[in-house]
Chain A
Amino acid sequence: MKRDLVIKWHFPHPPEKVWECLTSPQLVSQWLMKNDFKPIVGHKFQFHSKPLPKMGWDGIVYCEVLEVIPNQKLVYTWKGGPRPGVIGLDTLLTWALTAEDGGTRMVLEHSGFKGFKNIISSIFMESGWKKGITRRLNELLNEMQ
Chain B
Amino acid sequence: MRTNTDPFQALADPGRRAILMMLSQNRQSINTIAGNFDISRPAVSKHIKVLYEAGLVQIKDSGRERYCELNPDGFNEVKKWLDYFDQFWRTKLQNLEDLLNQQHKTK
Contact = CB atoms under 8 A, between A and B. Distances in A.
A122 B8 contact: no
A113 B99 contact: no
Interface in B1-55: 5-9, 11, 17, 20-21, 24-26
A81 B17 contact: no
A38 interface: no
A108 B90 CA distance: 10
Contacts of A124: 24
A75 B6 CA distance: 25
A119 B11 contact: yes
Interface in A67-90: 81-82, 86-90
A52 to B, nearest CB: 8
Contacts of B99: 21, 27, 30-31
Nearest to B8: A88
Contact of A120 (B8, B26, B75, B92): B75
Contacts of A90: 8
Contact of A143 (B79, B89, B101): B79
B97 A113 contact: no
Interface in A128-145: 128-129, 133, 136-137, 140, 143-144
A143 B80 CA distance: 11
Interface in B57-107: 70, 72, 75-76, 78-82, 84-86, 89-90, 92-93, 95-101, 103-104
A128 B25 CA distance: 5
B92 A31 contact: yes
A110 interface: yes
A106 interface: yes
Given A82-B6, A110-B85, A124-B24, 9 more contacts: A5-B86, A5-B89, A13-B104, A17-B100, A55-B81, A56-B8, A81-B6, A89-B8, A116-B7
